[in-house]
């Protein structure tokens, strides 16, 4: 034990030295004293604590501080706060102690991190969405709180092996749902990529390992390709006396999987598995000129794809990202993406907020982070929005591609791709958005729902007699517009609900029932409503009338709650526990939980799972157990927001049930293609076709086929068989 402690202490000292050496910022003597003091305090405070892995607990805050110092590049105050981020929560130290020892800045950051940590530990109710809102509110105090929290989450993901499986799935899902998009939005691309890959490792372990192994197998081939590309252009670059380096960047495992899934293609058919990055040395003044010079040199040697040019130098992304991206036909006739960045641009891309702040020129406005925070603040102030809606609206704009449009005076505005004229109105000012009557695009009147394109000039027409309507929500894209419209509609709804509450109290009194919380809860169940506001609103509108209230009152008795309990109990059907050796490849029966019970359930419409798919159960409020595929579009949201309602599910043994699957085909319209495809399905596979439709245009066909299959194994075999038909290029399961 003594030897072990000596080894651990030696490792702690070694990590401290590394922390100072790898710091992105230049540390003064005062900075080093602050960090040393925080380090000593953390070591002392956590001296008797250990992580689930058995390591000394202090390894964790030191690792978080190293991420903050090197990968993100924050200052000494942030490094000290990272070292101390768990001290108040887990030890005898108080916030007053931290302020006395390290000052108010460090104390405020630690306080913000402690609040977030406490929120994330609450359970039994769906708090993730509300916690996310509260987590973002900390941005108002100091953005460093959220950045250190991202570093904390990264290290937790790096050491997730020590956690039980159910926690691994919950934490990984939450990371994909919240922390990876947030990292992307702040500009921490490297961390965002690592968070996605680590999360994918736990949410879909087998698929992760398969893709990872294939990437490693193709590493040598990738290196050779980068060398051959470099050899062709390095003479021309050297001739211009440019100082540069060429690097290869592999596409992340998560990104490759997403492409394979969306396009329904194997790993080998993902052609942009890596990109080539040219990082050049330049003064700030010459950056743009040199970027286009390098672009010219590359396109002199390789044919560019004109539809794949991305100019984020002239118009940087809203999070500050700058670069030129081009796709060219490289050696061996392969399309390859080339990213052109200066050293400054590269630092901003890798360090995000910290580097963006470092390179700020004098009084130049930090249009990336600061304008984003201003807009975010407006959304945060809207307390009326449902927390889950808030998360979805916030995420709506995280990964969105951007367009750039102009006001009548020539000011440029950045909006997410797909934004409408009404979104533009709200981006100018809330009051303009609220009173929008019409819009002119390039001088012509257009509907408010008209989607905008880059380069267009928009003029908004307003009227004092206009106010938002619910149909506006159908076509606005930005979270700002959605939140403002909802807020306006909710104000009107609240006014009606206030009247409705008084009406309900009076009518229930006539039925000898007193309006109180217990009664409201029972009425919400009875009328299948989400909250009391909806109840009072419907009473205020008159959609819940006297007859319906009388029907409710007849069922209001001592056994009312038992009625619902019995209904839930009836959903379960006892089933004998089966051993793993009994599970076959026929995959036709769903079982749930550790006991592998068969329970009453229904298949969700959003992803249409079939036998053999990897699935999970979600215990809904009104519809019992709903079964979703693990890669369902709603999977991350459900597993992050409602982890306590998730139940394990898997397909086992056989039954004669069949499932409907819809296949979308495309390819070259050869003579007899429909007949050949039909034969491939109905031949020796003996599969029934429910519906079949084919369209042809300019020699290209598209088709939709609905078939009945017993399980996923048969469906995959069918897809592979159809792909062998001459002319068929792609088959995707809808």
Residue 443 pLDDT > 80: yes
* Shared-domain flag, residues 69 and 159: yes
> What are the catalytic residues?
89-90
Pair 196, 320 in one domain:
no
Q: Residue 172 in contact with residue 217, Cβ under 8 Å?
A: no
Name the residue with higher pLDDT: 403 or 242: 242
293 with 317, same domain: the answer is: yes
Q: Over range 288-312, report the average pLDDT.
A: 91
- Per the model's pLDDT, the better-predicted residue between 398 and 341 turns out to be 341
How many other β-carbons are positioned within 10 Å of the β-carbon of residue 39? 24
Which of 172, 162, 167 has the alpha carbon at shortest distance from 195?
172
Could you report the per-residue pLDDT of 612-639, keeping only the tens digit for each?
788 999 887 677 788 998 888 888 878 7
Q: Domain range holding 340?
A: 214-358
Instruction: Give me the pLDDT at residue 600, please.
Output: 79
Q: Which of 603, 637, 652 is the last residue of a domain?
A: 652
Question: What is the average pLDDT score of the chain?
Answer: 80
The answer on pLDDT for 434 being more than 80 is yes
Tell me which of 332-336, 389-393, 412-416, 456-460 is least confident: 389-393
Q: How far apart are CA 277 and CA 257, in angstroms?
A: 22
Please count the structural domains in the chain: 4
pLDDT in tens, 559-578: 444 544 444 444 443 443 33
| Cα–Cα distance measured from residue 593 to residue 579, given in angstroms and rounded to the nearest whole number | 13
Q: Collapse the DSSP code of 98 into the 3-class scheme (helix H, G, I; strand E, B; otherwise coil) and give the result.
A: helix
Phi, psi of 413 (to 5 degrees): -125, 135
**pLDDT given for residue 595 in this prediction:** 60
Task: Give yes or no for a contact between 45 and 87, defined as CB atoms under 8 angstroms apart.
Answer: yes
- Model confidence pLDDT, tens digit, residues 161-181: 888 888 888 888 888 877 888
Q: What is the pLDDT of residue 261?
A: 85
Q: Domain containing 135 — which CATH number?
A: 1.10.3210.10
- Say if residue 597's pLDDT is above 60: yes
What whole-number distance in Å separates Cα of residue 406 and Cα of residue 454?
9
> Are 10 and 96 in a shared domain?
yes
So what's the pLDDT on residue 42?
A: 92
Same domain, 77 and 168: yes
pLDDT for 135: 62
Domain membership flag for residue 500:
no
- Same-domain status, 247 and 344: yes
Phi-psi region of 145 (alpha: psi -120 to 50; beta: other; left: phi over 0): alpha
Q: For 35-89, how does the pLDDT look when each residue is reduced to its tens digit (9 = 90+)?
A: 999 999 999 999 888 888 788 899 999 999 999 988 888 888 989 999 999 998 8
Q: How many angstroms separate the Cα of 518 from the Cα of each of 126, 567, 581?
A: 21, 19, 49
398 pLDDT tier (thresholds 50, 70, 90): low
Residue 528 in any domain: the answer is no
Instruction: For residue 378, give the 3-state DSSP assignment.
Output: helix
> Residue 53's pLDDT is what?
79
Is the pLDDT at 117 greater than 80, yes or no? no
CA of 74: how far to CAs of 70, 240, 289, in Å?
8, 36, 30
Residue 193 — pLDDT band, cuts 50, 70, 90? very high
Q: Are residues 134 and 159 in the same domain?
A: yes
- Joined tokens for residue 194: 């690592």
Range in 193-197, 403-407, 593-597 the model is least confident about: 593-597
Q: Give the residue, 333 or 42, on which the prediction is more confident.
A: 42
Structural domain includes residue 8: yes
623 contact partners, CB below 8 Å, separation of at least 6: 602
Q: Are residues 237 and 340 in the same domain?
A: yes
CATH classification at residue 677? 3.30.70.260
In DSSP terms, 590 is beta-bridged to: 651
- For residue 619, how many other CB atoms are within 10 A of its CB? 18
Is 685 a member of any domain?
Answer: yes
Query: Exposure pattern of 233-262 as b/e (b: 16+ CB <10 Å)?
Result: beeebeeeebebebebeebbbbbbbebbee
CATH number of the domain enclosing 317: 3.30.460.10
At which of 342, 358, 374 does a domain end?
A: 358
Query: Would you place residue 136 in the very low, low, confident or very high pLDDT band (cuts 50, 70, 90)?
Result: low
672-695 pLDDT, tens digit per residue, is 888 888 888 876 666 777 778 888
Residue 186's pLDDT is 74
Q: How confident is the model at residue 367 (pLDDT cuts 50, 70, 90)?
A: very low
The torsion angle over the Cα atoms of residues 668, 669, 673 and 678, rounded to 10 degrees, is 80
β-pair partners for 628: 616
| Torsion (CA) 575, 580, 585, 587 in degrees, nearest 10 | 30
Q: What is the pTM of this model?
A: 0.60
What is the 3-class SS of 583-651, one letter each residue?
A: CCCCCCEEEECCCCECECEEECCCCCCCCCCCEEEEECCCCCEEEEECCCCCHHHHHHHCHHHEEEEEE
Identify whether 470 is part of a domain: no
The answer to the question of residue 304 being in a domain is yes
Please report, in angstroms and rounded to a whole number, the separation of the first and last CA atoms in the chain.
59
Encode 112-167 in three state secondary structure. Answer: HHHHHHHHHHCCCCCCHHHHHHHHHHHHHCCHHHHHHHHHHHHHHHHCHHHCCHHH
Q: What percent of the chain has pLDDT over 90?
A: 18
Tell whether 154 and 245 lie within a shared domain.
no
- Residues 256, 235 contacting (CB under 8 angstroms): no
- Same domain assignment for residues 700 and 643: no
In angstroms, rounded to a whole number, what is the distance separating the alpha carbons of residues 546 and 557? 19
In a domain, 511, yes or no: no
For residue 576, the model assigns a pLDDT of 38
Q: Do 159 and 101 have their domain in common?
A: yes
Residue 581 per-residue DSSP state: G
Residues 639 and 676 in one domain: no
Residue 285 lies in a domain: yes
Residue with tokens 């009625």: 563
For residue 138, the model assigns a pLDDT of: 58
Q: How confident is the model at residue 394 (pLDDT cuts 50, 70, 90)?
A: low
Question: What ranges in 175-245 are assigned the alpha helix state H?
Answer: 180-186, 189-203, 205-217, 219-239
Boundary (domain end) residue, out of 652, 667, 684: 652
Confidence of residue 716 (pLDDT cuts 50, 70, 90): confident
For residue 361, the model assigns a pLDDT of 45
């Amino acid at each position: 034990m003594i030897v072990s402690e000596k080894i651990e202490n030696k490792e702690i000292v070694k990590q401290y030295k590394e922390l100072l050496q790898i710091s992105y910022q230049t540390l003064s003597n005062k900075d080093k004293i602050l960090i040393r003091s925080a380090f000593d305090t953390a070591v002392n405070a956590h001296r008797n604590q250990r992580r689930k892995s058995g390591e000394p607990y202090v390894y964790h805050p030191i690792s978080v501080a190293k991420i903050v110092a090197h990968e993100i590049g924050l200052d000494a105050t942030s490094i000290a706060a990272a070292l101390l981020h768990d001290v108040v929560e887990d030890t005898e130290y108080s916030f007053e102690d931290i302020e006395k020892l390290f000052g108010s800045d460090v104390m405020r950051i630690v306080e913000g991190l402690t609040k977030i940590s406490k929120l994330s530990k609450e359970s039994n109710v769906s708090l993730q969405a509300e916690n996310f809102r509260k987590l973002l509110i900390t941005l108002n105090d100091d953005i460093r709180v959220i950045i250190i929290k991202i570093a904390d989450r990264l290290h937790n993901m790096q050491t997730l092996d020590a956690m039980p499986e159910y926690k691994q799935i919950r934490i990984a899902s939450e990371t994909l749902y919240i922390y990876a998009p947030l990292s992307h939005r702040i500009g921490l691309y490297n961390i965002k990529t690592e968070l996605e890959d680590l999360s994918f490792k736990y949410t879909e372990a087998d698929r992760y390992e398969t893709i990872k192994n294939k990437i490693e197998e193709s590493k040598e081939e990738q290196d050779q390709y980068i060398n051959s590309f470099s050899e062709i252009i390095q003479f021309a670059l050297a001739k211009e006396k440019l100082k540069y380096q060429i690097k290869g960047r592999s596409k992340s495992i998560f990104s490759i999987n997403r492409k394979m899934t969306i396009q329904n293609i194997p790993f080998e058919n993902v052609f942009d598995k890596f990109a080539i990055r040219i990082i050049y040395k330049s003064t700030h003044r010459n950056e743009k000129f040199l970027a286009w010079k390098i672009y010219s040199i590359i396109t002199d040697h390789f044919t560019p794809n004109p539809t794949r040019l991305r100019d984020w130098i002239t118009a940087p992304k809203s999070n500050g990202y700058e670069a030129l991206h081009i796709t060219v036909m490289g050696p061996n006739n392969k399309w390859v993406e080339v990213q052109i960045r200066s050293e400054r641009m590269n630092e901003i891309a890798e360090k995000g907020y910290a580097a963006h702040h470092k390179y700020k020129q004098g009084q130049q406005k930090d249009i990336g982070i600061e304008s984003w925070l201003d807009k975010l603040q407006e959304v945060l102030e809207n307390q009326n929005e449902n927390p889950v809606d808030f998360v979805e609206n916030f995420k709506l704009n995280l990964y969105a591609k951007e367009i750039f449009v102009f006001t009548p005076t020539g000011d440029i505005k950045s909006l997410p791709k797909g934004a409408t004229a009404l979104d533009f109105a709200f981006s100018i000012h809330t009051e303009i958005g609220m009173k929008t009557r019409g819009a002119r695009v390039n001088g012509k009147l257009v509907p408010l729902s008209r989607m905008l394109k880059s380069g267009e000039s928009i003029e908004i027409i307003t009227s004092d007699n206009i106010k938002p309507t619910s149909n506006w929500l159908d076509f606005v894209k930005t979270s700002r517009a959605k939140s403002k419209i909802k807020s306006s509609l909710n104000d009107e709804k609240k006014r009606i609900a206030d009247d409705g509450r008084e009406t309900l109290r009076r009518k229930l009194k006539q039925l000898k029932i007193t309006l109180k919380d217990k009664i409201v809860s029972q009425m919400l169940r009875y009328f299948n409503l989400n909250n009391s506001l909806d109840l009072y609103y419907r009473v205020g509108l008159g959609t819940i009338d006297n007859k319906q209230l009388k029907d409710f009152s007849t069922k209001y008795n001592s056994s009312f709650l038992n009625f619902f309990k019995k209904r839930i109990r009836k959903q379960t059907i006892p089933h004998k526990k089966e051993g793993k050796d009994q599970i076959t490849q026929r995959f036709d029966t769903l079982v749930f939980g550790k006991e592998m019970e068969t329970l009453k359930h229904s298949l969700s419409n959003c992803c249409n799972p079939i036998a053999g798919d990897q699935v999970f159960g979600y215990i809904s409020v009104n519809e019992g157990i709903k079964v979703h595929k693990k890669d369902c579009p709603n999977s991350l949201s459900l597993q992050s927001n409602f982890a306590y309602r998730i139940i394990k599910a898997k397909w086992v043994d056989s039954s004669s049930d069949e499932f409907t699957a819809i296949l979308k085909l495309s390819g070259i319209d050869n003579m007899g293609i429909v007949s050949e495809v039909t034969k491939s399905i109905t031949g020796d596979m003996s599969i029934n076709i429910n519906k079949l439709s084919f369209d042809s245009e300019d020699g290209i066909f598209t088709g939709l086929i609905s078939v009945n299959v017993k399980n996923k194994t048969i469906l995959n075999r069918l897809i592979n068989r159809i792909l062998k038909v001459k002319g068929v290029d792609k088959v995707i399961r809808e």
